[in-house]
Amino acid sequence: MLVSDFFLPHLGGVETHIYSLSQALSSLGHAVAILTTADPVPPGAASRAGVRYLPRGVKVYYAPLPALTAGTSVPTFSLSFLYLRAVLLRERVTLLHAHQSTSVLANECLLYASLLALPCGHTDHSLFALGDLAGLHLSAAQGLVVNTSVQRSLAVSAVTGANVSLRNGQPLGRIRVVPNAVDGEVFRPREYLEFFDTWFMLLRGNSRQVTFLHVYHHTTIAWAWWAGMTLYSTGDSYFGALLNSWIHVMMYGYYALALMGIRCPWKKYLTMAQLAQFASVMVYTGFCFYYNHQQGQLEGRHVLACAIQVGEMASLFVLFYGFYKKSYKGKPKQDDSKKTDAAEIKDECNAALEASVSGEVSDECAVAIGSLVGAARRSARLAPNRIAAKVNKAAEATSPVAKATARPSWALFN
């Protein structure tokens, strides 16, 4: 039986995890039941109470227990023992699996199941603080329940396992890391989406933009992710993807500003952020390697996955650092105050061209449009002065009477 306050119709990571786990166990021939609370229901959902059925014959008990907040029942302090005992005996439960430390229903069922001599397991899905008052109370209560009732604790990532050990005082040998539902097949680069921009560059004849850094990065990162998901598909895979998502937010923000002719304030720091990302992923990979070694769960495929990850990040760090050093270091600074408007236009166009050749900007169209927008903006600033000069010259060629009566139209442009 799977037990938690957090289940459908509420939506969340724990809820979908329990549903997917129940379906997978049922498909393997196990009789599965779920115990959760009936109230409160989310807005727009029908009230649920009693017994409902899910696909594959999974039975769901919606217990009529009072709710404290959305998804958390009120502690009953053994008042719900008779009801929950009847459910456990009726379903002839042989294993109770509780989910999430903050679930009051899960913690009470663990205590009741231990009184009935039922084997128990517990899965923690989240990281919790260790120093604040709420974290201290949660750790004390959860440590009492887990250390007296649970034979095996599970964690969805290595970091979560370490957090559980610190909070509950359990030895790492009793905490097993089970990957969150990750299908390595989904991450196979079979559609070759990563390579489309390169094909477009080659078809347009812009082979100079297809640098070694560009080809190496886009080719190896796809297969490195596939290897990581296939050999070591754990919840810790989120770390590199999370950092990379923020990098791409900065990158495409830079492209958008370049198209609008606006100088990007974080252009120089974009490559620095990428270097920090590579270094952070290497450190995090080392932590996962050490943690699994301490647990005795380190296998050959894990070692190979960590080696591929560290090798990929280290090589990208070297290549991107070379690009950063070439682009931003060793260049003499020019006094922009002494530049004429025409010189600024020329420098801006040259900078855009250099960025296109070096591969700093991966879209040639974006470079061209950005340079044209910049040149148009500079020309618009020059236009009033040039028109004023021509009007003034024409005024000087007129008669003295015309000069005295003529409206100084050049004033409109000053």
- CATH number of domain containing 77: 3.40.50.2000
* pTM > 0.75: no
Among residues 221, 358, 232, 326, the alpha carbon closest in space to that of 277 is found at 221
Q: Given pLDDT bands bounded at 50, 70 and 90, which one contains residue 45? A: low
Q: What is the token pair recorded at 256?
A: 């958008």
The residue from 302, 331, 360 where one domain ends is 331
Predicted pLDDT of residue 325: 85
Lowest mean pLDDT among 113-122, 294-303, 336-345: 336-345
Does residue 25 fall inside a structural domain? yes
The verdict on residue 336 lying in a domain is: no
With contact defined as beta carbons under 8 Å apart, do 178 and 156 qualify?
yes
84 and 216 co-located in one domain: no
Tell me whether residue 217 is one of the annotated catalytic residues: yes
Span of 233-247, 308-322, 364-378 with lowest mean pLDDT = 364-378
| Token pair in block for residue 348 | 């801006």
**Are 171 and 215 within one domain?**
no
Domain assignment of residue 209, yes or no:
yes
| Enclosing domain of residue 263 | 184-331
How far is Cα of residue 293 from the mean position of the Cα atoms in its chain?
Answer: 26
- Average pLDDT of the residues in 248-268: 85
**Mean of pLDDT values over 198-218:** 78
Q: Among the ranges 2-6, 169-173, 286-290, which has the highest mean pLDDT value?
A: 2-6
Q: Which region among 1-15, 181-195, 226-240, 267-281 has the lowest average model confidence (pLDDT)? A: 181-195
- Evaluate whether residue 112 is within a structural domain: yes
Select the more confidently predicted residue: 67 or 167.
Answer: 167
Looking at residue 289, its pLDDT comes to 86
Boundary (domain end) residue, out of 158, 177, 196: 177
Of the two residues 305 and 344, the one the predictor is more confident about is 305
Number of domains in the chain: 3
pLDDT of residue 337: 47
Query: Would the pLDDT of 24 be above 50?
Result: yes
Are 368 and 310 part of one and the same domain?
no
**Residue 121 β-bridge partners:** 97, 152
The burial of 34, by beta-carbon neighbours within 10 Å (0-12 exposed, 13-18 middle, 19 or more buried), is given as: buried
Look at residues 177, 207, 227 and tell me which one is the last residue of a structural domain: 177
Tell me, what's the pLDDT at 142? 78
Q: What is the mean pLDDT of the segment spanning 245-252? A: 87
| Range 291-310 average pLDDT | 83
For helices 81-90 and 104-115, angle between their N-to-C axes, nearest 10 degrees: 70
Residue 111 lies in a domain: yes
205 — alpha (psi -120 to 50), left (phi > 0) or beta? left
**Set 217, 218, 248, 293: catalytic member:** 217
8 A C-beta contact, residue 63 and residue 91:
no
Mean pLDDT of the region 154-173: 82
Check residue 362 and report its DSSP letter.
S
Query: Is residue 273 domain-shared with residue 162, that is, in the same domain?
Result: no
- Residue 124's identity, in one-letter code, is D
The token pair that represents 254 in the structure block:
């830079």
- Which stretches of 232-299 are DSSP H helices? 238-259, 267-295
Checking if the pLDDT of 162 tops 50, the result is yes
| Whether residue 135 is found in the same domain as residue 216 | no
- The answer to whether 96 and 3 have CB atoms below 8 angstroms apart is yes
pLDDT-based confidence at residue 384 (cuts at 50, 70, 90): low
139 Cβ partners below 8 Å, 6+ apart? 128, 130, 167, 168
**Do residues 283 and 241 share a domain?**
yes
Which of 132 and 93 is assigned the larger pLDDT? 93
Q: Are residues 141 and 264 in the same domain?
A: no
Indicate whether 47 pLDDT > 80: no
Answer yes or no: is pLDDT of 357 > 60.
no
Is 133 in the same domain as 70?
A: yes
Phi, psi values for residue 52, rounded to 5°? -125, 165
Quickly state the pLDDT bin for 408 (edges 50, 70, 90): very low
If asked whether residues 37 and 143 sit together in one domain, one would say yes
Q: Is residue 358 part of a domain?
A: yes
Instruction: State the pLDDT confidence band at 99, using cuts at 50, 70 and 90.
Output: very high
| More reliable by pLDDT, 175 or 33 | 33
Residue 304 sits in the same domain as residue 347: no
On average, the pLDDT of the chain sits at 76
pLDDT at 34: 95
**pLDDT value, residue 279:** 93
The backbone torsions φ and ψ at residue 405, rounded to the nearest 5 degrees and listed phi first, read -100, -15
Average pLDDT (259-272) is 85
Q: Which amino acid is at 112?
A: Y
pLDDT band at 94 (very low <50, low <70, confident <90, very high): very high
142 and 277 share one domain: no
Range among 112-121, 228-237, 254-263, 367-376 with highest mean pLDDT value: 112-121
Q: In b/e form, how buried is each residue of 126-138, taking b as 16+ CB within 10 angstroms?
A: eebeeeeeeeeeb
Parallel, antiparallel, or unpaired for β 2-3 and 33-37?
Answer: parallel
